[in-house]
Structure 1
């Protein structure tokens, strides 16, 4: 095991908000050069901002080119871009919303993995962390209805495991991080559900974004050098109930 990957660069999709922003700030404090990939107009004080819309493959490819023009790499990757449908019954979900949630959460994650993964495979080394969710295959959330979000995150976890098998022998590790309920601005909009969520969590509270950032940094780093295809669940025990 070496310390090489602990100091090199990392790109983070969805890095301008929520969990992605917390991870970006944490890694920058640790001395990493961080590229924040997010949509035009996103606000960030962390790292190097690179415009990127994960729904647009040309935008993803352009972002990869921009990052590698700035640094020869290898560039590790964290995929944190994600959205959720807002408590909509499955029978009422409009088709465009289904495509958008699956598009950002799964297809956008795959696009980033493929584009950055090709470069990492050329280098023969690298670490990728996909932000999944306990909702992917461990729980079905209640009382909110989010069938497409849950399905998309199950696909993200499966993608991490599949890529781990394909790319591990070629030097690239891929792992999934599955948070439970996290104290983010997005969750603050559903305050009427918080009491039930906390009651269902063994530790009786939400995770801080820093706790999720710590877990992401571990999976990315050489301290997890024998982890690939791992799903690290950080849910305060919610999935145990």
Structure 2
């Protein structure tokens, strides 16, 4: 890619959930586009290429998130955009049988953690004149109820991510911080690869009959962070291969 054609980013970007799958693809894409990328995750940081600075983080701990933000700003000057890609899902548990501890664990990462990281990074962006945040939600939040797996906690948490995104966009947009959400459908990741018995059903539910590539999700995140998306505020971009049309 010619340098003159690269999207314009805030000079630095933090990607939470960067150790594998979609998050790793996003981190690599942003780095290749010229951003200084910080990959944050609870584990698996050894998967990051040397060109990306890895930092350990616990999404459920406000102290851990604040410490990571402080370390990133210690490492360099200038505002830091944020991509929230960390998330967990319950393992096909019927709602009637789900222990409340499992429900709480999903929400602790998928929405409480997203709020805490948006808050910590958002404070710095606001104080430095603005930037962009992209939260990875899911088609499962507002558009489909996945089948045959049962995942009421995950679906509910991802709907909350979209609602949080809109709320923050209204509060922070006038202060120069654009907050948007991206809602992918089924993506070809190592996590989904473990569920081969469901693949045919999932593909049949997708109009184009295939999963998204992590690189396709990464490209859309790159767009939302770029100046080309400057009029996107509080938007939810749905990229589900037509699953919600079935």
Q: TM-score, normalised by structure 1?
A: 0.96
1:145 counterpart = 2:150 = yes
CA offset digits 1:101-144 (Å, max 9, x no partner): 00000000000000000000001210000000000011100110
Within-5 A mapping of 1:107-122: 107-122=112-127
Report matched runs for 1:86-105 at 5 Å: 86-105=91-110
The count of corresponding residues between Structure 1 and Structure 2 is 239
Alignment CA distance shift 1:19-1:134 (3 Å): same
Residues 1:40 and 1:207: Cα distance change in structure 2 (over 3 Å): closer
Structure 1 position 222, deviation (Å): 0.6
1:127 corresponds to which of 128, 132, 139:
132
Aligned residue for 1:43, secondary structure, equals: helix
What residue number does 2:47 align with?
Answer: 44
Where in structure 1 are there 5+ consecutive unaligned residues? none
- In structure 2, do the counterparts of structure 1 residues 4 and 117 end up closer, same or farther at CA, with 3 Å as the change threshold? farther
* Offset from partner CA, 1:155-183 (integer Å, 9 cap, x none): 00011111000000010000000000000
Deviation at 1:73, TM superposition (A): 2.1
Are residues 1:177 and 2:182 paired?
yes
Question: Contact between 1:81 and 1:104, CA under 8 Å: does it hold in 2?
Answer: yes
Deviation digits for residues 47-68 of structure 1 (CA, Å, limit 9, x no counterpart) = 1001111111111010000000
For the pair 1:26 / 2:35, whether they are aligned, the reply is no
8 Å contact 1:13–1:20 — kept in the other structure? yes
* Mapped partners of 2:164, 2:44: distance in 1: 29
**Stretch of structure 1 that moved more, 42-51 or 230-239:** 42-51
SS in structure 2 at match of 1:176 = strand
* Cα offset, 1:220, TM superposition: 0.9
Shift of 1:40: 4.3
Give the Cα separation in 1 of the matches to 2:9 and 2:111.
Answer: 27
Is the alpha carbon distance of 1:159 and 1:89 closer, same or farther for their aligned partners in structure 2, counting shifts above 3 Å?
Answer: same
Alignment partner of 1:168 is 2:173: yes
Look up the SS of the partner of 1:144 in the other structure.
Answer: coil
The 8 Å contact of residues 7 and 31 in structure 1, kept in 2 or not, is answered as no
Q: What's the secondary structure of 2:132's corresponding residue?
A: strand
Q: Which of residues 80, 83, 97 in structure 2 aligns to 1:75?
A: 80
Query: What is the root-mean-square deviation of aligned Cα atoms in Å?
Result: 1.3
Say yes or no: does 1:239 pair with 2:233.
no
Rounded Cα–Cα distance in structure 2 between residues aligned with 1:55 and 1:13: 12
